[in-house]
Structure formats: structure tokens, C-alpha cells
């Protein structure tokens, strides 16, 4: 597959926030179909790496849903927003700068330690099962503005998860993928059993 026309098509598919924040990068050497690393705090762009040789094996609706849910996950990661952990990160960084200027070694350790702990909490919250389910559901919402119904979008994303496992030569779904597929089955009306709240928080 020639990546350029497909990249242009995928950019058009994205919501405006995704176009501004993310960048699709062809990465033929990776063994996964699509990958998006957790963005560091200093990163201006959030790359989405795609192996287009593997990508082309997926039907277009499955490609659409994988891209949309990935974009929605990346856009949901906000280092700077008004909540407790972001406030602690900022306070810790500012405190570290002040203590560094004053030459206070203990103050530097405390301030940067607080910042590191809060940063870890932000990372964990964006890697929780709930954040993965939210990314799926937000991807489905965007897809409904691109001509899909809720049920169609959920079915295509569900099929894409299974297809990716086969294409990548894995033995089965991991824990997060199992939770996601159960939630997508419920959205698509294929199952009456959703995902318990206790599992979403893991």
C-alpha cells in the first residue's frame, strides 16, 4: 500500500482536534499494525505509527475505527488541565526551579519527587481500563459524524481488535482488549452484559 493517499484520507477522517495534535507516521519496521506511544510532557506532536503493509490487510471500516479510537485516546491525554495531579506537577516543577536557584538540595528532591509522583498518576489514569473504554466510545461518537451508526462503528472496532491480533500473530487478546471487546459487544447489542465499574477502574 502506498502510504501517502491513505495518510491523506485518514487525516480527513480525523476530528479537528486530532489534526492539530497528532501526526501519522509510516513505520514499516514495527511488528504492530498501529502504535501510539504515551506522549511526554514536552512533546509538541503526538505521533501515530502505522505499518502500512499490515494496515492494508484490514477492511476500510476497521482501519477507520482503529484510527479514530487511537486519535481519541491521544487527544484525551492532557498534561495541563485544572485538576489535582496537574496542579501538583506544576507546583513541583516550579518548586524545583526555585529550590535549584537557592541551592537547597533537600528542597529540590522533595519538589521534583512530588512532581514525579503526580506525573505517574497522570500516566496511570490514561492507561486505566476506563480510559481505554472512553477512547473506544469517543471514537464511535466521531464515527457517527462520518456516516457510521453507533452499532456499525462498534461492530467494526470489535472486528478490528480481533483482526489485529491475527495479523500480528498473537495467541489471543490481552486483559484490556478482553474488557474492550465485552464493552463493544454491549454497545453493538451483541451482549446484554456490560463491563462492571470495578473492572473499569483497573
In this prediction the pTM is: 0.77
Contact 63, 42 (CB under 8 A): no
Distance between CA atoms of residues 67 and 44, nearest Å: 20
Q: What's the rounded Cα separation, in Å, for the pair 23 and 138?
A: 19
- At 92 the pLDDT is 54
> What confidence score (pLDDT) does residue 91 get?
54
The confidence score (pLDDT) of residue 58 equals 98
Separation of alpha carbons 93 and 177, rounded Å: 35
Q: What DSSP string runs through 40-76?
A: PTT-S-EEEEE-HHHHTTS-HHHHHHHHHHHHHHHHH
pLDDT confidence of residue 111:
46
pLDDT, residue 78, reads 75
- Give the separation between CA 40 and CA 43, rounded to whole angstroms: 5
pLDDT of residue 168: 96
> Rounded to whole angstroms, how far apart are CA atoms 189 and 70?
23
Alpha-carbon distance 178 to 155, whole Å?
15
Provide the pLDDT for residue 2.
83
- Spans of the chain below 50 pLDDT: 82-86, 110-111, 114-115, 118, 123
Residues contacting 111, CB < 8 A, separation 6+ = 91, 92, 93, 94, 95, 96, 98, 99
Output the pLDDT for position 110: 47
Q: Quick one: cell of 79?
A: 498534561
Amino acid at each position: 500500500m502506498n502510504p501517502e493517499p491513505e495518510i491523506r484520507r485518514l487525516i480527513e477522517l480525523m476530528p479537528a482536534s486530532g489534526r492539530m495534535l497528532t501526526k501519522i507516521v509510516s513505520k514499516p519496521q514495527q511488528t504492530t499494525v498501529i502504535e501510539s506511544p504515551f506522549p511526554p510532557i514536552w512533546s509538541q506532536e503526538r505521533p501515530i505509527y502505522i505499518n502500512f503493509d499490515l494496515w492494508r490487510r484490514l477492511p476500510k471500516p476497521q482501519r477507520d475505527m482503529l484510527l479514530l479510537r487511537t486519535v481519541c485516546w491521544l487527544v484525551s491525554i492532557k498534561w495541563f488541565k485544572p485538576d489535582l495531579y496537574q496542579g501538583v506537577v506544576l507546583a513541583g516543577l516550579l518548586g524545583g526551579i526555585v529550590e535549584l536557584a537557592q541551592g537547597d538540595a533537600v528542597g529540590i528532591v522533595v519538589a521534583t519527587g512530588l512532581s514525579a509522583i503526580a506525573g505517574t498518576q497522570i500516566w496511570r489514569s490514561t492507561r486505566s481500563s476506563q480510559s481505554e473504554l472512553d477512547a473506544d466510545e469517543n471514537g464511535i461518537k466521531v464515527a457517527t459524524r462520518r456516516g457510521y451508526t453507533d452499532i456499525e462503528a462498534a461492530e467494526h472496532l470489535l472486528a478490528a481488535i480481533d483482526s489485529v491480533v491475527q495479523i500480528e500473530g498473537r495467541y489471543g487478546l490481552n486483559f484490556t482488549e478482553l474488557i474492550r471487546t465485552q464493552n463493544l459487544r454491549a454497545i453493538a447489542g451483541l451482549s446484554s452484559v456490560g463491563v462492571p465499574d470495578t473492572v473499569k477502574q483497573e
